Structure formats: C-alpha cells, structure tokens
Structure 1
C-alpha cells in the first residue's frame, strides 16, 4: 500500500454543490471553480446557473461529464490530470461519485497516483439521515433501487435483516412502488422517513411506519426524494423449545417483520429447521403446553 502524495501531475477536486439553497455552497466552491483548468460538470447548464448565482467566472475549459459519456470521457480527463491540470468535478447536487458521476475518474486518478481531494459540503444522504429521527449511530447507503419490480424485491429481501439504518435515493414517480416493496420486504410496522426537496422551499419530511407511508404516497410524490428506513431489531439467542420459538417469531412480527421472514430468521438463530419453527407457530399446542 502506498500513501498518496501530490506529485508533478495535476489535482482532481471533487466539489460538493448545494442540494437546495445556493447559500449552502461551501466557501471554497467558488474559489475552486474560478481557478480550475478544467471543470467537468454533470450538466453544463446547471453549472452556468450556479456560477451566476455565486458570482464567479470560470476561466478554465468546461466539459460535460454525465452518466451517458462518463466512461468515454474519463481517459481524456485523466490525460488532463497527468499533464498537470487542476480538474474540478461537480454534479447537479451534493458530492460527486455518490450515486452520481465521478467514481470512474476517481479510480483512474488513484490508479495513476494523481492527487485526489474534495471540497466537502451538502449531502442529501447525511441531511436526510440527520432529520429522519431514526438511529444514526450505524447506517448504510443503498443508493437507487433497481427499476424492475423483481430485481427491486430481491434487493430489499437481501436487506430484510439489516440492522443498520438504511438510506435510499428514489425518483418521485417510483416512490410509491419503492415504499410498497419496502413494506412487503421489511413489514408494514418498520419505521421510516420520506425526505422530499431537502433544504428547498417546499421541504417536507414525512415520518411514520412503512404501511402508513405507502398510503400517503398513493396521492403522488413530487421533487427529489430520499428515503430513510430503520434497521431490524437484533435477534438474541433463542432456545429450541416450541414456546421460545413462538415467542421469538411474535417479537419479530411486532417489529414489522413478515411471519415468513420471521420464521426463517428464528430458525437460523436457533439452529433448527424452518419446519420446526413453522410447526411451533401454526400447530395447536397439545395439552395446553409447548
């Protein structure tokens, strides 16, 4: 492992941009845009609006760098860096490379020992997490869910026993479908928050259980959306007798886990077959004992 040090090559600057209010722009953003040799922007028109609002003039070359041309344009930007240029990368909102273009260029720069730094600033992930009212001591960012229903369901099923708070990005027109899939995977009683238009004029944070949030989203959702979902409650050690198995399943169901998933989890923790847990839950208790 080598420690990255600035060398004769240029510098790649990942510059965070406001997610809503332009006044939230980090002070260094204007400075970096002004002195950049090259500014790579996800949307050059948005960049123009941003620089106008910041009162900054970009003297360097401006190029587009978005999902559709990221792979093709990365080698040329890497050549700029290797030639000594200071390249500033900005996306439409928030930190580049976080569910936005940037990862390929960062990886290429690191591979060629180019110095990579950042202008820290606004982040929809951390902002939503902070205002959600859900646990923040441990969390994971899951980005955008797959658009296809089957793939989305499989992704969420794999997260059903995730104990950390989860943060997702979602398009407004898919928010109801995403919340419905989360309800089906995590249970309608799982706590969550839908954060809409964060830091903007019409900011809204809707907190509640997934079942209630699905009903709320049925009327339609507008704006940029970030969804925060609480993790599952850790399952303690479970005895293998029928009464303990039933109680463990019931506890998970109270936390919002579906009975099917609860049976699978209890069987795993107790070290018994799923059929044994199923029988403990569904079969009549003989003689009033179990």
Structure 2
C-alpha cells in the first residue's frame, strides 16, 4: 500500500458478501486512496467504510439513476478517482453499473477492476455440482409464465445453471423448477460466508418441502444440475416417467423427463407407452 493519490478514472471494487473479513488488501487500498465512492445504498457502504476506519464522499448510483447522474459521474472521473461498489459482492453481477462502465470505455476514461467476492462463485464451489461449465442467469422472472418459459429455454443447456433468488420467492421457484425440470438435482446456498451458512442439495420437491417448513432468510443462490449429468439408469427413467404420468399424459410426461434428463423425447414417449400398457395388464 502507498499514500500516493490514485490516477483519475473508474475503479470497480468487489466488497464482502457477508463476512467483512473477506475484503481484499487491494480493495482497502483503493477505497483508502480514492476521491469518492459510487454505491447502490449509501447506508450500506458507509457501514463498510466505518469498519475500515474510512470516510469518503458517497455518490448514489443504482438502477434508478438518471442519465444526468451518470454523466455527472463520468465527468468527475476525468479528473478524480471514483470507486464503484455494490451493496455486496462484485459490481455489475446482477447489479447496476454496466451502462456506466460502457460509457466510460466509450469516452476513454481509464477503468480498473479488482477481483473479489462473488456469491455465485462461492455457492458453486460449495454445491458439489459440475463446475466445468456453468451459466449465471441472474434472477428468474416474477410472473409464472415468464418463469416457466425461461426454465424451458435453459433446460437443455449442458451446464449447471446459477440463479439469484429471494427468500420470499424460493419455495414458489422450487415448485416451478419441479414442474419444468422434474428429478433434476438442485442446490440451495444461503447466508454465504456468515455464521449460519448452508448449502442444501436435493430434488426440487424435497427442497420445497424443507423450506416450506423452515422458511429461509437472507440472500439465496439457486443452482440446477445439467441435464443427464446424473446418468440416470433405466430404473431412474422409469420412476420419473411413472411419477410424471400420475398427473399428465404419456406425451407430456415424456416431454418433462426429456427436459430433466436430456434423453430423447421420442424414446421416452415410447417407454412411457410401454409402462402404461404394463400398468393396465
């Protein structure tokens, strides 16, 4: 660390997602030497700065900031060093800021990004789900049809899917995943880096039942295993088909299991018809 003033420009600074001890030495250095901090919530960032023994001008910048606010920030960066932080984690990851970075790049303002905490990455490492390929998809839509359409769109992607979710919506979202991707392995990570940190895995229905009787608190990362990753054997496939056919026609059951496992829909339909015939004989 040094006491020399920072060069003018934009500094993207990751902050702790829970445990304040996770802030990096480089983040402390930049926050110590910068001229001002742009943040989502001045109260949250003020708490972090007090923890670090710092006092800086705080400029609010969030999803509701106007173009005029953004232009004012950009103008300040031409002659001053401005750190951009989110309430927790790495800025721009499901947080406001990308327009500011885009415009800074377009106008030639120097940009520096500091690596640091990210809830999605912490959760992925805890989950035990395949991590050679993963897709971060932010928050699922609020409305039922839009959520179902999004899950259908992502169902066949050969990668672990990562979403952010609120505690209030978790059970409803798990129910929706159970309908769209029956049998797919799910991981729910919450209270990351805090005292009551947990990462629970299971089927959508089992997790929905657990969190119905144990309402969760805090921010949540929800992960869905890739299709076919569990290499389900014939007995597993039959069990999934039979469970789906308790409420749906064989064609619909085959479509659901195809989404969940990545198996061929036509082959699953043929097997569903065999199972239906066996059950009637």
User: What TM bracket, shorter-length normalisation?
Assistant: 0.7 to 0.9
User: Aligned to 2:152, which of 152, 157, 181?
Assistant: 157
Cα-to-partner distance string for 1:169-206 (whole Å, 9 max, x where unaligned):
0011000111111111111x211111111001121211
Which residue is 1:96 aligned to?
Answer: 91
Distance apart, 1:259 and its partner CA? 2.2
- CA 128–72 in structure 1, closer or farther in 2 if over 3 Å, else same: farther
Q: C-alpha separation between the residues in 2 aligned to 1:214 and 1:267?
A: 23
Q: C-alpha separation between the residues in 2 aligned to 1:26 and 1:129?
A: 20
Which residue is 1:74 aligned to?
Answer: 70
Q: C-alpha separation between the residues in 1 aligned to 2:260 and 2:204?
A: 21
Contact 2:186 2:201 survives alignment (8 Å)? yes
User: Aligned to 2:200, which of 203, 206, 210?
Assistant: 206
Report 1:49-198 matches (<5 A).
49-58=47-56, 61-69=57-65, 71-81=67-77, 83-187=78-182, 189-198=183-192
Distance apart, 1:22 and its partner CA? 0.6
Aligned-residue Cα RMSD (Å) equals 3.1
Cα-to-partner distance string for 1:114-168 (whole Å, 9 max, x where unaligned):
2221121111010000000111111010111111111111111111112101111
Distance apart, 1:14 and its partner CA? 0.7
Q: C-alpha separation between the residues in 1 aligned to 2:49 and 2:172?
A: 37
- Structure 1 stretch displaced more, 173-182 or 217-226: 217-226
Distance apart, 1:264 and its partner CA? 8.0
Q: C-alpha separation between the residues in 1 aligned to 2:260 and 2:26?
A: 49
Q: C-alpha separation between the residues in 2 aligned to 1:51 and 1:129?
A: 29
Q: C-alpha separation between the residues in 2 aligned to 1:134 and 1:277?
A: 25
- CA 216–115 in structure 1, closer or farther in 2 if over 3 Å, else same: same
| Total equivalences in the alignment | 259
- SS of equivalent residue, structure 2 residue 227: coil
Contact 1:166 1:231 survives alignment (8 Å)? yes
Q: C-alpha separation between the residues in 1 aligned to 2:262 and 2:61?
A: 49
Contact 1:70 1:104 survives alignment (8 Å)? no
Q: C-alpha separation between the residues in 2 aligned to 1:116 and 1:110?
A: 7
Unaligned runs of 5+ in 2: 1-6, 245-252
Q: C-alpha separation between the residues in 2 aligned to 1:183 and 1:285?
A: 22
User: Aligned to 1:260, which of 239, 249, 255?
Assistant: 255
Distance apart, 1:16 and its partner CA? 0.4
Which residue is 2:25 aligned to?
Answer: 27
Q: C-alpha separation between the residues in 2 aligned to 1:96 and 1:13?
A: 10
- CA 130–156 in structure 1, closer or farther in 2 if over 3 Å, else same: same
- CA 179–72 in structure 1, closer or farther in 2 if over 3 Å, else same: farther
Q: C-alpha separation between the residues in 1 aligned to 2:262 and 2:162?
A: 28
Q: C-alpha separation between the residues in 2 aligned to 1:128 and 1:27?
A: 23
